[in-house]
Amino acid sequence: MSLRAYVRSMRKGRVIAAVIIVLAVVAAIATIVATSQNKTPSASSKHHHHHATVVSTKCPLTDLPAPNGKAPQREPLAVKIGNEPAARPQSGLNEADIVYDTPAEGGVQRYVAVFQCDTPALVGPIRSVRWVDWHILQVFSHVELAYVGGIQPNQDTVASLKFIDNANAFVHFGAYEQNPDRTMPDATYASPATLWKLFGHHAAPQPIFDYTTGPLPAGAKPTSSFAINFAQGTNVVWQWDASTGQWVHTYSGVTDVDALTNQPVTTTNVVVQIVRYTIGPDSEDPEPNSGDVESQTVGSGRGWVLRDGEEIPVIWHRASPSSITTYTSATGQPVDLQPGRTWVELVLNTTAAIPGAITP
């Protein structure tokens, strides 16, 4: 099925508004500041600055050395990727700087994969937008969001937001392709290089996490695995691989694989945030209990940071939608991340309250 045919089928029962918005070109020159490779930013600076300082020789969203020694001067690209069992294995997850694992309606999970330093050949399957997406992404001064439609109120909202370049597949047909080996709605893919060409230039983002390679705070303890039972078919177990220094993403112990490289899906850091939520007024489909899950990522709550083969109980803090999220230990000590890629697991407070749902 062509994407045009898919769009026509999705339009039944919906009104697809063709909205052309004038995007403001943000002329910003990132300040290049020499910082310590051991910690970015300093412990004192994080309490006085909204964002950390961009370091041009490092990837801003991982703190790792940038390709060719210089971070790409482009905005982050956030791609909405399906994560129900039929959507697996996904392509491109290992090239994402950050992956947000977000609850959706009906007990399914959806990813928001954020790319900036690396350019995978193809990412997907790409799915529809949700309320939580732009609330997570407002931490960036400017970001491109790639997705395939969604309920009309969500599409309209994204199209109206000035900090988002709206790469909706219903508008930018030619930037997407259909994988003949996959079945709709899990067949839409795109090349990040193509998506980045859709809009004008924006500067590289500032970091949204604090990093350190120093000693871990009190309360850290070694662990070989961390389990989150989101729902049937999505029982995530992160397993520590000391030989690679990475956490391996598994489902009930079966290794998840990135279809683009046929390699295990891994990450350097795992952040678990327990969040409150509400159910939005608009249904995603005619089925019962299909309202949009609006995870509240502003405020504070319990969680864990997994890094270096250890788990650290934390309290997460985010003052406003445009603020970064910070983490503190039980004694109030800052808990930073190891330089590298990061996955953020959003766990609904009702899920976390179920005995055995989280097994640290």
Task: Tell me, yes or no, whether 166 and 228 share the same domain.
Answer: no
Task: Tell me, yes or no, whether 75 and 99 share the same domain.
Answer: yes
Task: Tell me, yes or no, whether 21 and 140 share the same domain.
Answer: yes
Helix (H) or strand (E) segment spanning residue 156: helix 152-160
In the prediction, which pLDDT does 218 show? 87
Task: Tell me, yes or no, whether 192 and 258 share the same domain.
Answer: no
| Token pair in block for residue 313 | 């109980």
The average pLDDT across 227-246 equals 92
Task: Tell me, yes or no, whether 239 and 276 share the same domain.
Answer: yes
Residue 314 covered by a domain: yes
In the prediction, which pLDDT does 357 show? 93
Task: Tell me, yes or no, whether 247 and 187 share the same domain.
Answer: no
Task: Tell me, yes or no, whether 217 and 352 share the same domain.
Answer: yes
Residue 245 covered by a domain: yes
Q: Report the DSSP pairing between strands 326-328 and 342-348.
A: unpaired
Domain end (from 162, 196, 230): 196
pLDDT above 70 covers a percentage of the chain that reads: 83
| Token pair in block for residue 20 | 């052309």
- What DSSP state is assigned to residue 95? G
Domain end (from 170, 196, 222): 196
- The residue segments making up the domain with residue 265 are 211-359
Residue 45 covered by a domain: no
Residue 129 covered by a domain: yes
pLDDT above 90 covers a percentage of the chain that reads: 74
> Is the C-alpha dihedral spanning 40, 94, 109, 345 positive or negative?
negative
Residue 38 covered by a domain: no
Rounded CA-CA distance 272/101 in Å is: 10
Task: Tell me, yes or no, whether 191 and 278 share the same domain.
Answer: no
Rounded CA-CA distance 200/45 in Å is: 32
Higher pLDDT, residue 218 or 16:
218
pTM of the model: 0.84
Residue 35 covered by a domain: no
| Token pair in block for residue 140 | 């960036």
Domain end (from 152, 169, 196): 196
User: At 288, is the pLDDT very low, low, confident or very high (cuts 50, 70, 90)?
Assistant: low
Contact 54, 30 (CB under 8 A): yes
Give the CATH number for residue 306: 3.50.90.10
| Token pair in block for residue 153 | 């109120």
pLDDT 10s digits, 9-56:
333 333 333 333 333 333 333 333 333 333 444 333 333 334 444 447
- What DSSP state is assigned to residue 141? S
> Closest Cα to residue 115, out of 103, 127, 123, 107?
123
Residue 47 covered by a domain: no
Task: Tell me, yes or no, whether 340 and 217 share the same domain.
Answer: yes
Rounded CA-CA distance 85/108 in Å is: 9
Contact 135, 118 (CB under 8 A): no
Task: Tell me, yes or no, whether 220 and 117 share the same domain.
Answer: no
> Closest Cα to residue 342, out of 302, 297, 306, 304?
306
Q: Which residues of 169-186 are buried (b: 16+ CB within 10 A; e: fewer)?
A: bbbbeebbbbbeebebbb
Residue 135 covered by a domain: yes
User: Looking at the 3D structure of the chain, how many domains does it have?
Assistant: 2
Task: Tell me, yes or no, whether 283 and 248 share the same domain.
Answer: yes
> Is the C-alpha dihedral spanning 142, 147, 151, 156 positive or negative?
positive
Task: Tell me, yes or no, whether 181 and 217 share the same domain.
Answer: no
φ and ψ at 328, to 5 degrees?
Answer: -130, 150
| Token pair in block for residue 238 | 């992160």
- Which alpha helices (DSSP H) does 42-114 contain, by range? none
Picking from 101-110, 185-194, 335-344, which range would have the lowest pLDDT averaged per residue?
101-110
One DSSP character per residue, 186-223 reads S-EEE-HHHHHTTS---PPPPPSS-EE-SPPPTT-EE-
